[in-house]
Structure 1
């Protein structure tokens, strides 16, 4: 079986064919397009449809359907955008993306499926990645925001006594600060400015200078310690045996690994091997009908 996985980002769309028989993306079908998120509905959908259509054309095999990893807020069960007042995709508010794509791509609406982008990453890790042999896992995305997903046997858990509502951690507090403000790119950059009085453009610049800049090194050490302290009670409550990290900040794992592991000695901590492909693969996996049927109750709560 072949399906199309799509990652919708803040300024781009990436589409690629996924081969379910060998759990691999076909790199020859990968198409990447820039998107002006402030453009009209027609312009945004035009780019999305072009990108997905190009992947289907390059695939040259029958396609089961299309899965899309989308930022929220979004009605993932119905396929309707709820993004509003965040300076992106405003023109798509209340638009039924499923029906729009189905009509233009000539695909049955039921074969166009949606998932939260952070959850797509976690599904990939739980089904074919490093958390495959773990009953309970937590996936964390560290980037412009702080994403999280709690899974049992590969299924995201959105509520329950041992899971924060929605599986969200970004809106929780840690020592007087929102987690999303601490465990994100802006949190790291802010911490460095507090310590050094200097500004940097991104996290990559910081970890490249950490060997010669004691303040940069200290920022990552503090990041690992505080992230571990923050995560520990959730890990204990959920009884997770593994934490998988993804996102751009995870590329700097070597710089905060020691401090993080000191705080979390009872759990396996690893970095995703899939990188930016994780969300694409996770969305493509939605076209497995058996898995998707089990996932539907979760989608209604997302």
Structure 2
């Protein structure tokens, strides 16, 4: 059995066929397209379809459906975008993407499924990654924003007294500052600007400075300290055994990892995802496993 896993970002779509027998992505079917986050609805959907159809053609075999890992806010159960008042994909607000994609791909609406991108990441890690050895895991994505997912036995936990509402951390505060403003690309860029007066464009540029610029190194180390201090109470309350990191900022783990670990000494495991950007694709594809979908269906209604 094959399905198509999809990672939707504000400015890209990445998709790949997944073999449910071997539990592996068929990387020869990988397809990627850049997306204009400010484009009109039809422009964005046509770009998505270009990538989806390309992967399906590269597979050359029937698929059971398509599982899309999407940023929120989003009605994941019904497949309707709720994204507005942010700098991405606003033209899709209130669009029934399940219906639109099913019609364009000549599939049944039930064959098009959606999940939060951070949850998809945690599902992949808890099902097929090192975190599968643990019952309670937290997965965090560090990139343009702060994504988080709390999971027990591979199932995202959204409504529980031991986790923040919906499992979100981006909307929590650290020292009176919104976490999403600190633990993100813009947060790191701003931290470096504050200490040097220099404006950089992205995290990779800052990472490349570490060997020659002690201020860059200190910014990353401070990032690790503050991130650990911020998430520690949430991890302890949940009884977290393993913490998995993903997203572009995690590529600098060799610089901020030690300071983060110092803040979180009680974890059994703290590591960067081995799947990288493929994790969300895998998590999306797994939605087409009917047994798993039956278990997670109610959780999707709460997302």
TM-score, length basis structure 1: 0.97
Could you tell me how far apart the structure 2 residues matched to 1:240 and 1:234 are?
Answer: 9
CA distance in 1 between counterparts of 2:240 and 2:87 reads: 36
Residues 196 and 38 (structure 1 numbering): CA distance in 2 closer, same or farther, change over 3 Å?
A: closer
Distance 2:47 2:260 in 1: 41
Q: More displaced, 197-206 or 266-275?
A: 197-206
Structure 2 match to 1:2: 2
Q: Which residue of 2 aligns with 1:157?
A: 157
Question: 1:88 matched to which residue of 2?
Answer: 88
Residue 22 of structure 1 and its aligned partner are, at CA, apart by 1.6
- Residue 281 of structure 1 corresponds to 282
Q: Secondary structure at the match of 1:234?
A: helix
Residue 43 of structure 1: CA displacement? 2.2
Equivalent-residue separation in structure 1 for 2:100 and 2:264 (angstroms): 46
* Residue 57 in structure 1 maps to residue 57 in structure 2: yes
| C-alpha distance in structure 2 between counterparts of 1:172 and 1:86, whole Å | 18
Post-superposition offset of 1:275: 1.0
Give secondary structure in 2 for the equivalent of 1:300: helix
Q: Specify the alignment match of 1:225 in structure 2.
A: 225
Please, what is the CA RMSD of the aligned residues?
A: 1.1
1:35 has 2:8 as partner = no
Within 2, Cα distance between the matches of 1:29 and 1:23?
15
Counterpart of 1:295? 296
Q: Tell whether the 8 Å contact from 1:130 to 1:244 is kept in structure 2 after alignment.
A: no
CA–CA distance in structure 2, aligned partners of residues 224 and 36 of structure 1: 32
In the alignment, the residues of structure 2 paired with residue 185 and residue 263 of structure 1 have an alpha-carbon distance, to the nearest angstrom, of: 21
- Deviation string 1:253-278 (CA, Å, 9 cap, x unpaired) is 01011111111111021000111111
Q: Which residue of 2 aligns with 1:201?
A: 201
Counterparts of residues 90-105 of structure 1 (less than 5 Å): 90-105=90-105
The TM-score, its normalising length taken from structure 2, stands at 0.97
8 Å Cα contact 1:250-1:271 kept in structure 2:
yes
Alignment of 1:1-302 (within 5 A): 1-267=1-267, 268-302=269-303
Gaps of 5+ in 2: none
Shift of 1:39: 2.5
Displacement, 1:146? Answer: 0.6
Task: State the number of aligned residues.
Answer: 302
- Deviation per CA, 1:108-158, whole angstroms, max 9, x where unpaired? 111110011111111111110121111000000001101100000000000
Distance 1:261 1:48 in 2: 39
Secondary structure class of the residue paired with 2:67? strand
After the TM superposition, list the runs of 4 or more consecutive aligned residues in structure 1 that deviate by more than 6 angstroms: none
Cα distance in structure 1, aligned partners of 2:282 and 2:42: 27
Residue-by-residue CA offset, 1:223-246 (whole Å, 9 max, x unaligned): 111111111111110001000000
Q: Structure 2 CA distance, aligned partners of 1:184 and 1:37? A: 18
What is the CA-CA distance between 1:201 and the residue it aligns to?
1.4
- Deviation, 1:188, is 0.8
- Aligned partner of residue 132 in structure 1, secondary structure: helix
Distance 1:174 1:217 in 2: 22
Q: Secondary structure at the match of 1:114?
A: strand
Question: How far is 1:4 from its partner?
Answer: 0.3
Return the alpha-carbon distance in structure 2 between the equivalents of residues 150 and 276 of structure 1. 19
> What whole-Å deviation, never above 9, does each CA across 1:38-92 have from its counterpart, x for those lacking one?
2222222222222212211111122111001111111100011111222432222
Paired residue secondary structure (2:265): coil
